[in-house]
Structure 1
Amino acid sequence: MKVIDLFAGGGGLSEGFRQAGFEIVAHVEMDKSACNTLKTREAFYYLKRTNNLNNYLRYLKKEITRDELYYMVPKDIMSRVIQAEITIETLPSLRKKIDSILASYDNPKVDLIIGGPPCQAYSTAGKSRDPYNMENDKRNYLYFRYIDFLKYYRPKMFIFENVKGILTSLNGSVFESLKKHLSLAGYNLDYKILNAKDFGVSQSRERVILIGWQKRLNLSYPTFPNVVPSTIKELFNDLPPLQSGESIDGEYAYLKNENISNNFIRPENWRILTQHITRKNNENDLKIYNLAVNTWLCEKRFLKYNELPKDLQTHKNTKSFLDRYKPLKYDDISHTVVAHISKDGHYYIHPDLNQNRSISVREAARLQSFPDDYYFEDSRTAAFKQIGNAVPPLMAFKIANVLFHLLDNN
């Protein structure tokens, strides 16, 4: 079953649907670093399929360059990653590129379109920073471009993912318009607010998942089985300890302790650790991290910013945004991972006092349920941004499994 992934980001939705048996014929994404990550993932799957995965490992070990890795993969596969902004102006060229890809199939029909426009325009934080409440933000209306793809390719179903704020944006008018135009495009639809933790992801992350299907199909919104997630301790227990600013990778690092309960994240026979790299935290922040973790361990509550010693307070605002520093809890799951983690790690402090740092790229990837064989391109900051913006692949996988059977039966 063929899938187009719009606003693909670093590939969280794609990864889940691919592992459930769907074929991703095109990823459309405007961010260059995210597109590089998608290309590297395409290279991984091609080399795995052709029994040449050793070349992917050579790349991770820095024995070959990224260009050399990409050269090993047929151009028609790499061309599935389309770096472009989705606008009215780019629609004709995007359709032409995707049509060219589909022409290579005996049956060029698209079965499913997945994705969700950038959510900043619908987020509470985004609105609080905009004096016009983001009413003039063009991203409020990117769903029209999504609908343009539905009208053109007529997939049997679609998945539209976004933050809860889309339900109330501009006093609810955005969501009412979205539903109206999806219905006019020929689709029945329904939505629920789903939490990633119910799909086995070690993170509380609520998102609106809107599912639509052609009106001729006798379908309804499916139910999904609940899966108990691993705790942070279970999720991190095979990763070598690090200090602020340190990194460690390689096969020897990964073999330290194989006792991890989530097999989706640690694939069978995978034996190399990558991107277990932390940012360098300054001394002031490290003192605060220590206090924050101690407060949680001793009092089971989060430290408020105005409770810090005066010499550690660097912000004048001590009346709002008091939860600037938040440790993870070893015996629980994480709070929501967001793209702000690319700017600082204050909201994601490692729960181990002996490590005293913010979490690494690999730890953040695990919180989002990315498999350990997933590699994020370009820089630590770019990796954190891609991870924070992603749909958790394990959640996508569980959803995709159910949808695969629904489509198969129809």
Structure 2
Amino acid sequence: MKVSNFNDNEFARIRNTEIQKRKENFVKYLENNDLESSCHLAKFRLDDFHEYYGRGRENSEYYAKVTQILMDKYLAQRRLSKTIEESVETVGIKMEYLNRWLKRSKYADFKDENLKVTVKLILDGFRRKKPMGEIERISGMKEDAIRRSVLLGQKGDEMFKPLSDFYESEILPAKLDKFLQANETKSVRKALESADLTKEEMLAYYELGKNGDERFEEFYREFFSIKKGTYVYHIDKGKSHKIAMRESFLTPEEYDECRDELEKLLRLIKFNIVLEALRNDKTSNVMASKAGCSVDDIYDWYFRGGDGEDGYVEFYEAFHKGYVKPNIVPIQKKLDSENVNIDNLIRSNKDIFTRKDFDIWLKHGLIKIGVVHLDKDDEDEDEDDEKKTKKIHLNISGPKSSRTSLGRKKSEISEEELKRQILGN
């Protein structure tokens, strides 16, 4: 019997040759056909291909060629505005292959090209004014990642600069305007939601304006003003400095920069509350309660204004004409009468002034007990109010020690001098 020379090694060689030929044919077919059709033409089962490719033999030339073709096919589908899932399905690959390509450093070129396609899809969505949800779906990027991409472009990243350029010229201006308008009735955080802005976005463009970018200088000025107003609002409502800073978005540096202005704004608010209560015939303790300050604070402002200190003069004039002057003249008359009972005097006028007022007026020499008798001419209400105010202003102006000097005993000061200091004559 003749023995065949065909052995296992020969069989393996022939088999490997056949497989290699199929692989070469598969690569040729894959360039112009889908994955399933290419497998069929090359006499591969699709499952066999996935079993082989899934093992990731990345060092083989065949694997590298197949990978490049599949990557190109995937990117081509994405350029047609298909979603990631649709592109994967159309090409016939598995999501794990795509994840592998994006994670491995050896595929950096694919990763860069994929990112370029993604940016183009986002930009196309911006231009077509598509809803953010639709842009997310097509690009495969979450909204916060899209916003971060825009900020990267704004900071000079060339990959994302087309996004930031279009966003800043065509989309952002309307959002910033809406944000500023919303601040008129809403908190800063609610205004951000209304304008579809993130805190990071808004502050990034605020800083650009602060640093001299002409496109955003007006936004910077307007929002800085809102910041200050918001801080004052929360402090006026009794909130702590920490809470007011947080809600207003003021930075510590900005607070230090405008501290005097903020304090002045707070004072003006309290001034107006006090004077509004005064117009409603309230006593000083009620005024202080409504303004969230003390009676001592009110008189501190009053005497500062009397001394001519900037920012307090108008309050002094209004408070003097509306509260102090109408009370001290009739009170002084009663004090000048014999056997006046101070407690009864205060008690009978409790709806007009308080003991605290009386003590302060007495301490600062605005009234005297049993010393000065006012002349009829000096009490005449037809006398020019402005001149009276000026006289009283002179009475309390100057160093605080000059006001307390009115409290000396009668034996230490003449009656004429007392009249002059009280009436300004």
TM-score range, shorter chain: under 0.3
In terms of fraction of residues, the more helix-rich structure is 2
In terms of fraction of residues, the more strand-rich structure is 1
TM-score by length of 2: 0.18
TM-score by length of 1: 0.19
Higher relative contact order (CA 8 A, sep 6+): 1
